[in-house]
Amino acid sequence: MRVAIIGATGSIGTQALDVASEHPERFTVVALAAGSESERFSTLRSAHPHAHAITGGSREDLVALIEASAPDLVLVASTGLVALPATLAALRGGAAVAIANKETIVAGGELVIAAAREAAARVGTSVLERLRPVDSEHSALWQCLAGEDPASVATLWLTASGGPFRERGAAEIAMATAEEALAHPTWTMGAKITIDSASLVNKGLEVIEAHRLFAVPMAQIHIAIHPQSVVHGLVEFTGGSTKAQLGVPDMRSPIAYAMGYPERMATRVRSVNLLERGTLSFDAPDLVRFPGLRLALEAGTRGQAATGTLIAADDVAVTRFLAGEMRFGGIPALIEAALTQFAHAASPRDAADVLALDEEVRTFARGWRPSAALARGTHA
C-alpha cells in the first residue's frame, strides 16, 4: 500500500512512520510533508529516497503532492487547515484518508464527509473505511460501532482525562500560565492539542468530530471525565447494552487500526492490564470551571460557520496564550467574543468559503484585547 504522510515530523506523523516501519512488506511511503526543513525531516528524506518530500507547502502544494504521488492512503497529521484541499483531493482521487487533524473535520467537516460519502459509494465501502478516524476516542467509537446497525445506536460517550486542571478552582484555572497548562497528566502530544486538553476545548472539538463522522446528533454524544485514560469511548445501543474500547494511552494503537483497517496489525503497544490498573473512575464534566468546553458544545449545535469560528478563534487564542500575551482564561474569553462577532456568518458552501471565514476570524482574534485581569502578570 502506497502511503502519504502530511505532518510527517509531528507527534502523530512520527508515530505513524514508526507503525509503517514495523510493516515494511505492507507500506511504501510515497510522500512526506512537514512545515519546515529540520534534522528530523532530512533523516526522513534519506530513509525514503523515492518518496516525494516537501516542506512549508501551501494548500495547493499539498494537493499537487497528493496528485503526484498517487497514494492509496493519506495520513493527515498536520495542524490547522493547510491540508483541507489535499484531504478533499485525496478522497476524490480514490485514496483512503486516515484523519488525525481535527481542525479539518470541525471547520470543513460537512464538505469532507460529503466527499467521503461519494468516494465510499464509488468503491462500495463504508464512509469510515474511506475517512478513517485516528483520534483515540473516535477510533474507540469506530471499533465499538463495527458490525452494528447504525439504527440501533442510542448514545456515544467520549472520555477525557480532565487535563492538568481537573481538580482546580475556576479562578485558579483562569489565571494559569503556559507552563502549568503544558503539563498533561497522561498523553504526550503537540503543544496546541495539549493546551486544548487543559481547557477541555479539545473534548468539545471531539464531540463535534464525532457528530460529523458518525452522523449522530450533538445531544446524543456525552463526555465522561476519566483520569486514567484507559477507556477511550463507549457506545450505548438499543436494548440496554453498552460497548467500550480500552487501551493504554498510546496513539500508535489507533494509528495502526486506521492504517491497517480492516485488519488489526501487530504493534509494540501492550494491552491494558486491568488487574494492574485497579480502579477506573468516571465523572461528569464541569461546564462552569471549563467554559471553553461549554462554548465548543454550543458551537457544535449551531453548524459549520460556528464550528469554523470556534476552531480559528481557539487556534489564535492558544498561540497568544503560549506567547505569554494572556492568562489561560483569555482562551475562552476570546472564543466567546469571536462566536458573538461571527454569530451571523453564512454557512460555508465550499473549501474556499471555509478558508475565507477562517482568515476573517483569525484577523479578529489577533486584534482582540484581553481584559486587564487576564493580561496581568504576563510578559506582553
Residue 337's CB: how many other CB atoms inside 10 A?
A: 17
Q: Contact region for Mg ion (CB under 5 A) — 84-92, 115-123, 136-144, 274-282? A: 136-144
Q: Judge whether 224 and 202 are in contact, CB under 8 Å.
A: no
Site for ligand NDP in 28-57 (CB under 6 A): 33-36, 38, 56-57
Q: Which of 53, 68, 60 is nearest to 7 (CA)?
A: 53
Decide if residue 251 touches ligand NDP (CB under 6 A). Answer: yes
Q: Contact region for ligand NDP (CB under 6 A) — 121-129, 170-178, 188-196, 272-280? A: 188-196
Q: Which of 30, 132, 135, 374 binds Mg ion (CB under 5 A)?
A: 135
Q: How far is the CB of 57 from ligand NDP (least distance, A)?
A: 5
Distance CA 140, CA 355 (A): 30
Q: Contact region for ligand NDP (CB under 6 A) — 71-79, 223-231, 276-284, 302-310? A: 71-79
Q: Which of 66, 75, 79, 158 binds ligand NDP (CB under 6 A)?
A: 79
Q: Which residues pair with 153 in a beta bridge?
A: 237
Q: How far is the CB of 86 from ligand NDP (least distance, A)?
A: 9
Q: Contact region for ligand NDP (CB under 6 A) — 159-167, 189-197, 264-272, 284-292? A: 189-197
Residue 190, contacted partner among Mg ion, ligand NDP, none, CB below 5-8 A by kind: ligand NDP
Quick one: 10 or 291, whose CB is closer to ligand NDP? 10
Decide if residue 315 touches Mg ion (CB under 5 A). Answer: no
Q: How far is the CB of 154 from ligand NDP (least distance, A)?
A: 26
Decide if residue 8 touches ligand NDP (CB under 6 A). Answer: yes
Quick one: 191 or 337, whose CB is closer to ligand NDP? 191
Chain length of the chain: 380
Site for ligand NDP in 85-144 (CB under 6 A): 100-103, 135
Residue 371, contacted partner among Mg ion, ligand NDP, none, CB below 5-8 A by kind: none
C-alpha dist (Å) from residue 330 to 62, 85, 359, 375: 33, 31, 20, 8
Distance CA 209, CA 160 (A): 14
Q: Contact region for ligand NDP (CB under 6 A) — 9-17, 279-287, 323-331, 361-369? A: 9-17
Cα Rg, the chain, nearest whole Å: 20
Q: Is 319 left (phi over 0), alpha (psi -120 to 50) or beta?
A: alpha
Q: How far is the CB of 137 from Mg ion (least distance, A)?
A: 5
C-alpha dist (Å) from residue 202 to 158, 293, 297: 11, 8, 11
Distance CA 176, CA 283 (A): 23
> How is the chain split among helix, strand and coil, in percent rounded to 5?
50, 15, 35
Cell of 268: 509494540
Residue 331, contacted partner among ligand NDP, Mg ion, none, CB below 5-8 A by kind: none
- β-pairing, 52-55 with 131-133? unpaired
Q: How far is the CB of 136 from ligand NDP (least distance, A)?
A: 6
Q: What SS3 state is found at 74?
A: strand
E-assigned strand segments in 101-150: 131-133
CA angle 52, 107, 212 (to 5 degrees): 100
Residue nearest to ligand NDP (CB): 10
Decide if residue 9 touches ligand NDP (CB under 6 A). Answer: yes
Q: Contact region for ligand NDP (CB under 6 A) — 187-195, 262-270, 325-333, 372-380? A: 187-195
User: Over the range 295-312, which residues count as b (16 or more CB within 10 Å of their CB) and which as e?
Assistant: bbbbbbeeebbbbbbbbb
Q: Which of 117, 170, 190, 287 binds ligand NDP (CB under 6 A)?
A: 190
Quick one: 31 or 224, whose CB is closer to Mg ion? 224
Distance CA 347, CA 109 (A): 12
Q: Which residues bind ligand NDP (CB under 6 A)?
A: 6-13, 33-36, 38, 56-57, 62, 77-79, 82, 100-103, 135, 187, 189-190, 193, 251
Give residues in contact with Mg ion (CB under 5 A): 135-137
